[in-house]
Amino acid sequence: MKPGEPTSADLHVGSELVVRAIAGVPTIDAGQDLSEVIISGLAGTETELVDGDVMVLASKIVSRAEGCFVDLGGVTPSDTALHLAEEVDKDPRLVELILRESTGVSRKTTGALIVRHRLGFVSANAGIDASNAAPSSAPEGSGPWVLILPRDPDATAARLRAQLARHFSAEVGVIITDSWGRPFRRGTVGFALGVAGVPALWDRSGAVDRHGRVLEATVSALADSIAAAADLVAGQADEGRPLTLVRGLRFAPSDDSAQALLRDFKDDLYA
């Protein structure tokens, strides 16, 4: 077990969790204070955060608040992007942006580039999103617009966690999520892009099963599990529910970030 990783004594997951989307979140634009958006949304449902609560934010509203809009009309593709775009049948401007957001190409196929994102994980098309991606102030005739992922989601999660903990006088966690397609299964799931306050991993090594056997290598990706649960109620289309409250966990405050969830490059079979 690495220093700082939670043990079974640091965390308790009961038989019931409450996973509830926060309604009434407005369209977010660059410069908006997300802590105020969260506090206002909770106030609208007469909810106060308490110890162990985790606020889960879809990465899209973080990207919008941080101004991560890109007008593809202003992107000039490199020769590398032009050749790769022809090979995978994608807009060369988008391919150029994917390359800028990545540290390497892992796989390529028609319609998709599987890349190692600058944040360290492997994903399709660097997580770039074209859905609801234009700023409210976009000039007529501009675009097409896309959103790149937040520059430093762990730092954003940490800042929001500090603001919420101070406002509610509670030990809470914050997770920023995105949707992730996996190379070995169909469909997408929510995963943790940024983590603060809550353990990213739950190492159960040393715990005993119902037959008295000591667990030797059982590590749960707690932050990803929370993200996947929140993703179900947040939705993927026009639901407009980018904030989710997860209640029912008990955990000691953790310094973990989403980086704790990444395999070392040398151990990553899908790099």
Query: pLDDT tens digit string along 233-251?
Result: 987 655 678 999 999 998 8
**Structure tokens of 91?**
């807009």
Band (pLDDT 50/70/90 cuts) for residue 270 is low
CB contact at 8 A, 141 and 149: no
Q: Kindly report which listed range (37-46, 229-238, 258-267) carries the lowest average pLDDT score.
A: 229-238
Alpha-carbon span 205 to 186, nearest angstrom: 30
CATH number (domain holding residue 214): 3.30.1330.100
Final residue in a domain of this structure, among 119, 147, 175: 147
219 and 94, same domain (yes or no): no
Could you count the other beta carbons within 10 Å of the beta carbon of residue 10?
15
CB contact at 8 A, 245 and 18: yes
Final residue in a domain of this structure, among 103, 121, 147: 147
Mean pLDDT value across residues 219-236: 89
In a domain, 3, yes or no: no
Mean pLDDT value across residues 83-90: 96
211 and 240, same domain (yes or no): yes
Q: pTM of the predicted model, to two decimals?
A: 0.89
115 and 26, same domain (yes or no): no
Strands 69-71 and 185-196 turn out to be unpaired
In a domain, 183, yes or no: yes
Q: For residue 199, is pLDDT > 90?
A: yes
| Beta-carbon contacts of residue 189 (< 8 Å; ≥ 6 apart) | 179, 180, 182, 224, 227, 228, 231
| Beta-carbon contacts of residue 253 (< 8 Å; ≥ 6 apart) | 171, 197
| pLDDT score, position 184 | 77
Mean pLDDT comparison of 33-37, 137-141, 181-185, 208-212, highest-scoring range: 33-37
98 and 157, same domain (yes or no): no
Percent of the chain surpassing pLDDT 90: 65
Q: Would you give the end-to-end CA distance of the chain in angstroms?
A: 24
| pLDDT score, position 202 | 83
| pLDDT score, position 14 | 66
In a domain, 1, yes or no: no
Alpha-carbon span 39 to 58, nearest angstrom: 16
Mean pLDDT value across residues 161-182: 95
CB contact at 8 A, 106 and 271: yes
| pLDDT score, position 9 | 45
Mean pLDDT value across residues 121-139: 90
202 and 154, same domain (yes or no): yes
| pLDDT score, position 219 | 79
Residues in the chain: 271
Q: For residue 140, is pLDDT > 90?
A: no
More confident residue, 238 or 91: 91
Q: For residue 6, is pLDDT > 60?
A: no
143 and 170, same domain (yes or no): no
As a whole number, the mean pLDDT across the chain is 89
More confident residue, 214 or 130: 130
| Beta-carbon contacts of residue 222 (< 8 Å; ≥ 6 apart) | 6, 11, 198, 199, 200, 201, 202
126 and 177, same domain (yes or no): no
* For residue 135, cis peptide bond before it (omega within 30 degrees of 0): no
| pLDDT score, position 210 | 78
| pLDDT score, position 131 | 87
* Beta-sheet strands, E only, within the chain: 11-21, 54-58, 69-71, 102-109, 112-117, 122-124, 145-147, 173-182, 185-196, 202-203, 219-220, 243-251
Q: Of 120, 166, 126, nearest to 262 (Cα)? A: 120
Whole domain around residue 240: which residue ranges? 11-67+150-262
Q: Kindly report which listed range (28-37, 53-62, 149-158, 209-218) carries the lowest average pLDDT score.
A: 209-218
Mean pLDDT value across residues 125-129: 93
Percent of the chain surpassing pLDDT 70: 90
More confident residue, 53 or 234: 53
63 and 73, same domain (yes or no): no
74 and 23, same domain (yes or no): no
222: three-class secondary structure by DSSP: helix
Final residue in a domain of this structure, among 147, 177, 208: 147
The domain total for the chain is 2
